[in-house]
Amino acid sequence: MTLVGIIALGVKVNVAGLSESEAKVFAEHWKQCTAPPYASPDISVHREPVNWATAYEHLTQQITRRAIEFNLGKLMMFHAAGLQYPGSNDVVGFVAASGTGKSTLTSTLGKRMGYVSDEVVAIDLELSVHPLQKPVSLIGRSNGAFKGHIGPDQLGLRTNLTSTPRLASLVLLNRVTEEHAPTLAPIPLERAVLNLVPQISGLGLMPSGLNSLCNVIKKLGGVYELTYSNAADISPAYLAKIMDDSHDGSALVWKHIPKDPSPAMMHGYRVAQADFFDAIEIEGRAIVLDKGQVRMLGELASAVWQLLPSTNSKSELLDRLEKKFGKHDDSEMILDRTLVDLKLQRLIEESPIG
């Protein structure tokens, strides 16, 4: 049996259990990531006793998944394709869910731009990119059937990257079925956050994950949405339009919400914020990240949720809310409904006093 060494997102991987001929094919398809077998690998993956096509697919999936798991809490990892602008360190990340066009875009644009990854764009908080030039996972557009993992060289992709690739743009993909010429448009910060979070691995494990994401977005000057129907219609020159204004994030404003478990006292109960990973406020509305879910609250719910830790009683909370939003004949009923809704969303917790 033959060992093959792989470097994936900076993780040292040994691939074990391959025959000599299998190792040759595997190393050729992973050529941009291969290294001599490691004496002390970070992780090891093993060939399963199944046919080679299935074993190859599973090995590729295992390497990617376990490299992501190894970097949870260390790198910000977008479910994205990454391509580098020719003659530049700048990388654009095309963010989208599985089966929505990343690999097709990669196999098309990657012949004219540098291939970084078709599945994950991993960065540190200074925007340095950790490439994963794995075989491209191709899926048929018409029937969604898996076509296989094909090496970047076999697809004719450009694999010579600069030594210091750096994320310069994030683009949310919106592929539509009807004919649509490519259009790029900036999107608001809150929409960017709500759409990006589900496509980031382990954001809740990063210190102040939402705040860190907003800092990344600000450094990039915002997030764009690319609406298109045919990847062949998109050119590097068209994408380069982003670079004209993508480094001015001065207009992007948010507030980080620190954790505070201090309870308010209400009719014999302590009422406090439930534990959460991280939270921010944009234009008066809180966005809360908790256990892989991200939720945006309305202005009233946001105010109630944020005021709880610094409020001693329900009457004080009502008074502070009326000063913020104005008086209402049904203020107490509206507050009660808001508290019930926050409790149903598991954003607050109650416990009896005494």
Per CATH, the number for 76-244 is: 3.40.50
Cα 15 to chain centroid distance, Å, stands at 27
What single-letter amino acid sits at 176? V
Greater confidence (19 vs 144) lies with: 19
Please tell me the distance from the alpha carbon of residue 114 to that of residue 102, in angstroms, as a whole number: 15
Query: In 58-182, at which residue ranges do the beta strands (DSSP E only) sit?
Result: 76-84, 90-95, 114-117, 120-123, 129-130, 136-139, 146-150, 166-175
Q: Do domains 76-244 and 255-352 have the same CATH topology?
A: no
Confidence at 142, pLDDT banded by 50, 70, 90: very low
Confidence at 144, pLDDT banded by 50, 70, 90: very low
Nearest 5°: CA angle at 188, between 184 and 192? 80
Domain residues of the chain, as ranges? 2-70, 76-244, 255-352
- Which tens digit of pLDDT belongs to each residue from 155-188? 999 999 988 899 999 999 999 888 888 999 999 9
Q: Is the Cβ–Cβ distance between 308 and 269 less than 8 Å?
A: no
The whole-chain average pLDDT of the chain stands at 90
Q: For the domain with range 255-352, which CATH number is right: 3.50.30.10, 3.20.20.70, 3.90.930.60, 3.40.605.10?
A: 3.90.930.60
Please tell me the distance from the alpha carbon of residue 90 to that of residue 86, in angstroms, as a whole number: 9
Helix (H) or strand (E) holding 105: helix 102-109
- Which tens digit of pLDDT belongs to each residue from 9-61? 999 999 999 999 999 999 999 999 999 999 999 999 999 999 999 999 999 99
